[in-house]
Structure 1
């Protein structure tokens, strides 16, 4: 046997003997009354430390879930922001007009003022204004609902342009029909009579 192998074997045996000695010393120390209380305290502290580590592990998992939830929320906010930015940058040039609503308010101050104004109201009855109904412009959502083969023929702007021209023609026609005869010029009067002649029993009283 080589000398190096013998030295390694002796070193290994000495290490084992040293370990056995330390184990015996520790066992003897644990049996001493003065050290039992210390060992109990160390065991209790180890138990508390283990419990604390478990709680920290649970808290770390909770924070990880919270971080993932906040990340998803941030991505959702970013998507909504990008969509809102896109809508702001691509507002359609024509939007549907709101239908005007006419409200009449009457303020009564006193009975004497009402009686004083009564003859005046009888002499000059107020005429209710006649509103001319216009065709509403199409919305972007309505335009998207049109089949693709038809959308390629006219653009969204062109369609609303035609609707606006039709509304102008309708407003001009019914302004003439609602205008008093005394205030008409000869050319306007001719148009007025032509509009009346174009009416039939099926279209009379119906708006264009």
Structure 2
């Protein structure tokens, strides 16, 4: 038997491994033949054929290693791309948070939103609304550049921190100021001043509130979480007077 197969450098890793397995079986067959050969007639030609196959096996191993190297390089390229997208996302968030007043229609709407005086807050019966968890389907529909390596559990843990912050904040706001401790009285005043007169029933907190009342991380992690909750319409942002209000979206609350 002679070896006539050509070495194909376009083989994938799986195909290369299959090729190696086939050649191994061929070598075993030759060795079985050699076991019954007479030295003076057949051994030398068979050893020559085995040598050819061994050379091909070595070449296939080289190709397999080359494929592995390329796969690692591709993974590194993907990692670099993800980092660039994350930086671009941060840059866009920064631009969005620093749009000059009056630059777009959204600012015109913001100018119509004015702080509410203390007497206007909770004039009507108030019911606290909190966020629903994301479902598997909602999480999978979030673009990969937003969620990256984050898992569904991470997002829902953030939602729990958000809800916990709302409960603590509005418990303070519903209390009688005279019965609060000094620290809570200061927070009471801050929360009242942040309320908006012409958006009755708006439920919101700020990043500072979440740092104060929950264990959520700040920085890029926080921005990514907020971006995902905005994408899934769990929250909406209202920017005014240097305050970014993270408000509960009515369609995603209970």
TM-score grouping bracket, smaller chain normalisation: 0.3 to 0.5
TM-score of the pair, normalised by structure 1: 0.34
Answer 1 or 2: which has greater helix percent. 1
Q: Which has the larger radius of gyration?
A: 1
Answer 1 or 2: which has greater strand percent. 2
- The answer to which structure, 1 or 2, has the higher relative contact order (CA under 8 A, 6+ apart) is 2
TM-score of the pair, normalised by structure 2: 0.28
